[in-house]
Amino acid sequence: MTRDLFETERSAVPLADGAVLLPGFALPFEEEILAGVAAVAAAAPFRHMTTPGGFRMSVAMTNCGNAGWITDRRGYRYDAADPETGSEWPAMPAAFGVLATRAAAAGGFPGFVPDACLINRYEPGARLTLHQDRNERDYDAPIVSVSLGLPATFLFGGSERTDKARRVPLAHGDVVVWGGPARLAFHGVAPLKDGTHPLLGRARINLTFRKAL
């Protein structure tokens, strides 16, 4: 474990001011994280939410923690309850918090304690168009992103939607920490290419840890 963390810190890749890629940082946690995702999804199943404009998202989502990100015809927001059940979102599994706090520290943001975790599930063809994450109260806190399963191409733009986006390949176990000047950058995910991952099959899972409240 010590060696794993040492190796990942050695290979941290700066992407931009405030953004750092930690290749394979989540690999020592992969079994606990996947068990946690299964437990969360058993209580709050993945679902395709509707955008305010009335479009069904190609990415299926669920949440855990004190708040969950939702979208419907009324807008984008965080809510303590799952609109499908009216019950609170499942608690964040302990391993999630440990991974998020350690990754944030490795990325230059010590003391990060997330209160929300959005879990995205991509199947081949699913994508996320360029957007900013602006529904959180506090932009001083970073967002920690964990990628599992099929590889994806992450699109990382600038502070304007029209800024040219860089393409960053993300693989199983990669973690990215987005904070400081990168926190409000436009970003998205290119349509997922077909493939089969040994643990996850034809899917990519992305967890984003946030301080929403």
DSSP H or E stretch at residue 175: strand 175-178
Residues in region 13-32 near Fe ion by CB under 5 A: none
- By CB under 6 A, residue 177 contacts ligand MD3: no
Residue of the chain from 20, 44, 118, 165 that contacts ligand MD3 (CB under 6 A): 118
Q: Does 145 bind ligand MD3 (CB under 6 A)?
A: yes
What, of ligand MD3, Fe ion, none, does residue 192 touch, CB below 5 to 8 Å by kind? none
CB of 2 to ligand MD3, least distance (A): 27
Alpha helices of 11-133 — where are they, by DSSP H? 30-43, 94-106
Nearer to ligand MD3, 2 or 49 (CB): 49
Q: Would you say 3 or 134 has its CB closer to ligand MD3?
A: 134
Closest CA to 82 of 95, 73, 69: 69
Rounded Cα distance between 38 and 34, Å, is 6
Q: How far is the CB of 10 from ligand MD3 (least distance, A)?
A: 22
- Show the tokens assigned to 46: 């993945």
Binding to Fe ion in span 117-156, by CB under 5 A: 133
Torsion sign across C-alpha atoms 135, 175, 64, 201:
positive
Query: Would you say 102 and 209 are in contact if contact means Cβ atoms under 8 Å apart?
Result: no
Residue 205 makes contact with ligand MD3 by CB under 6 A: no
Nearer to ligand MD3, 44 or 128 (CB): 128
Q: What is the CA radius of gyration of the chain?
A: 16
Of 146, 129, 141, 111, nearest to 32 by C-alpha is 146
CB 204 within 8 A of CB 149: yes
Q: Binding ligand MD3 by CB under 6 A: which of 25, 29, 89, 178?
A: 178
Q: How far is the CB of 187 from ligand MD3 (least distance, A)?
A: 4
Q: Given the complex with ligand MD3, which of 3 and 13 has the nearer CB atom?
A: 13
Give the separation between CA 163 and CA 10, rounded to whole angstroms: 31
Of residues 155, 144, 171, 176, the one with CA closest to residue 22: 176
Binding site partner of 205, from ligand MD3, Fe ion, none, Cβ cut-off 5-8 A by kind: none
List contacts with ligand MD3 (CB under 6 A). 118, 120, 128, 133, 143, 145, 176, 178, 182-183, 185, 187, 189, 206, 208
List contacts with Fe ion (CB under 5 A). 133
